[in-house]
Chains A and B, each alone.
Chain A
Amino acid sequence: MIHRRPAILAGSLVACGLAVAGGLKLYASPSSQQQNTSAQSQPAPKSGNSEKSGKSGHAGKTAKTGEQIFQQNCSRCHQAPMSIPPRITGTVIMHMRVRARLTGEEQQLLLKYLAP
């Protein structure tokens, strides 16, 4: 037996949530939109000198790809970590490769991004 009243109520609240999301997006300032180009956008993790490599030449291209993988995959389940000590990065990414079913190439790009 399905109770329709709570379903309608819940549906309405979910719709309100989506409307608020849309509203916030419309009213967001340009600067805040630039800072939030992704749903779960987080500052780059503090690991090694990843921020440096993200700003230059070929290393920058690699870091960007690694960053994309980081942002796209972590947020599928949880908040992306702000920092991972380099000496455990390999272990953590092995764990996440199994859990998130990442490819070997994605694993290597993540390692370069997080522990360049």
Chain B
Amino acid sequence: MTKPEGKPKVAFYWCASCGGCEEAVVDLAEGILDVVGAVDIVMWPVALDFKRADIEAMPDGSILASFINGAIRTTEQEEMASLLRRKSQLVIAFGACSQLGGIPGLANLYDREGVYRAAYLESPSTENPEGTLPRLRSRENGYDLSLPGFYDTVRALGQVIDVDYAIPGCAPHPKVIQAAVATLLSGELPPKGTVLAPDQAVCEECPRRESKPLDLSISEFKRPHEVIIDEETCLLAQGLLCLGPATRAGCDAACVCGNMPCSGCSGPTSRVLDHGAKAISGIASLIGGDDEEAIDSVLDGIPDPVGTFYRYGLPASLLRRKTLS
């Protein structure tokens, strides 16, 4: 890798995301000062006023690393991702949406029309008597206006451009971010494709680990709002659907420490191809009951299986989306 003159240049960008990843960077607190001191930030839409043209004017490969969060859903996001790819030596998928498709990726259960209907016409909080929908081109008060195109399918960043590394999590845990940045600045880069977080399951870091029974059998799934959750016992042993066993560590089991089950935001470990399928495998095998009826009645306690097991990773899953009819 060539070393550019002066401080290394770094860009942050957001695509289909909620802003939580930006918050996670700010959550580095005083730790961010070390990062800011070590690099030149050339783009960060949430905080700094650099424009697309500024990036376009830079020579190719002149940015050391671009941290891109959010999934890819519009043509504009795809263009920006491609532009930053061209200008950067490293591209890092930052956060679950970028790495796996994330929560916006659940839109892959619908198509553009379904999303437009829900967002602009049918949601209870929408008032849109004229049924106005986003248009690529429209004319308002003598001005020609344009909007980016909107794809039927949400994609993870790595399905649109070449991605070097991923920092997992929704949002990434400050500890994971710090360790990842330290790795990138160390000059000893791990193999391309590495997910920059510990390659083991959340259970390994979970303070309730010792209370997980060897032979676990779940006769009823309970949802967090339905029960008083014991603060020390393994959540699976209490019948709460915790994805810790199938999910990558690094977060110090933050949700479990907050007395909520792991929902799987850090995605799978490196040995797994399809996070949801692997979670299905692990959770289903714990169901008590040996006949179809008993099993089905336990499964009825999981009202939204796709939203549960593929909450953060439908676009990056083997099937990627619901079939388009």
Tell me whether A and B are bound partners. no
B→A interface (CB under 8 Å): none
